[in-house]
Amino acid sequence: MNKSIIFLALFILTVSCDRIDGPGPVDPVVSLVSANGIFILNEGNFGWGNGSLTYYSYDSARIYNNLFETVNRRPLGDVPYSMFFHGNYIYIVVNNSEKIEVINNKSLESVTTITGLISPRNLVLAGQDKAYVTSMYSDSVRIIDLKKNKVSGYINIHQTSESAVVINQKAFIANWLEGNEVFIIDTTTDLLIDSVEVGKEPESMVVDNKGLVWVLCNGGWKRDTFAELVGINPQSHVIARRHVFPALESSPLCLQADGDGDTLFYIENGIRCMRTDAAELPADPLIGDDDHLFYKIGINPVNGDIVATDAADYKQNGVLLIYNRRGNLKNSYATGIIPGCLSFMVESGHIME
């Protein structure tokens, strides 16, 4: 066992929310990342470089904070924003540090750091060994060679980009900041082939079990445009479903789908859910605010748990909240500062965002 893993074992013994009991020593890395659980990226304060990695284990019902820094003896960086799993690696996109940290998915040790990026936001698989990285400030999408773990090219879409999904060898890329388009890239040729006009500031996207690309548009920060939830047909590139939020002040965010792909969830004055075939938006939240500042949500693809992060006051440590599928609170745990992206580790060994 190398030094970093030994250090991680000592760390877990001291920071676990409970004392570790058992008949004998357990390899801490296996107990953390080979079981059922949730990775949480804590964004930290912008410009402070205090972002961190947390893991919650369903099997032990314990949470482990500051894992990247503990294993690698250096900070993760400034605003870790999203995660991506491929092969034996976990890719952590660190927005304001303009890098992607590549770590081993078992030991959590650093493998390499990908640079040459401009305000990267989200990473999406675009081929067997290829990924696309969106950017808040660049007008192009970077292409990552996942064999060499290096930037291999770019695709100029003439706008900034945020969320991304891939279906049927097409990447759907949302233009978020003041934008109202979803760009479509042919992943076999890396060429921009089309765009779809949607509501203002498309913030997040998911694909349902019928292949429809759902786009949540928050209406813009000025609140001068109604938010929308639209469904794009990935073959024809036309909007097949459209729901308009009834109030200008509505500012929904963080669209997610359940493991079956037939129910959508998002944050808007609490956590709301709706069937993909629903005729209208839900009038009431499934989970009320209850003085929480919900920041991100994720749906456990196996048991249907609704998992949310509470950013508190954006200065102190946040909270991980785990609800069952009926919206009843099961547990809550302290995390790092501004807990954001949630990625689920399931028994198959894959991460589900």
Task: Output the DSSP codes for 232-245.
Answer: E-TTT--EEEEEE-
In a domain, 220, yes or no: yes
Within 10 A of 223 (CB to CB), how many other CB atoms are there?
14
Q: pTM (2 decimals)?
A: 0.90
pLDDT at 2 over 60: no
pLDDT, average across residues 141-170: 97
Q: Please report the pLDDT score of residue 294 as a whole number.
A: 98
Q: Please report the pLDDT score of residue 180 as a whole number.
A: 96
**Strand bridging mode 164-167 / 150-156:** unpaired
CB 182 within 8 A of CB 192: no
Q: Please report the pLDDT score of residue 157 as a whole number.
A: 97
Q: Please report the pLDDT score of residue 95 as a whole number.
A: 98
Q: How many domains does the chain have?
A: 1
CB 211 within 8 A of CB 219: no
Q: Please report the pLDDT score of residue 4 as a whole number.
A: 42
Identify the DSSP state of 183: E
In a domain, 154, yes or no: no
Q: Which of 4-8, 76-80, 165-169, 322-326 shows the lowest mean pLDDT across its residues?
A: 4-8
The CA-atom distances, in angstroms, between 202 and each of 59, 161, 199, 253, 335 are 36, 10, 7, 9, 28
In a domain, 131, yes or no: no
Extract the tokens encoding 341. 């992206």
**Higher per-residue confidence, 20 vs 243:** 243
In a domain, 273, yes or no: yes
Q: Is 74 helix (H, G, I), strand (E, B) or coil?
A: coil
In a domain, 324, yes or no: no
CATH number at 262 reads: 2.130.10.10
Would you give the distance in Å from CA 277 to the centre of its chain?
A: 25
Tell me the C-alpha distance between 45 and 73, whole Å. Answer: 20
Share of the chain above pLDDT 90, in %: 83
Structural domain span for residue 202:
162-286
pLDDT at 21 over 90: no
pLDDT, average across residues 70-80: 97
CB 230 within 8 A of CB 215: yes
pLDDT at 8 over 90: no
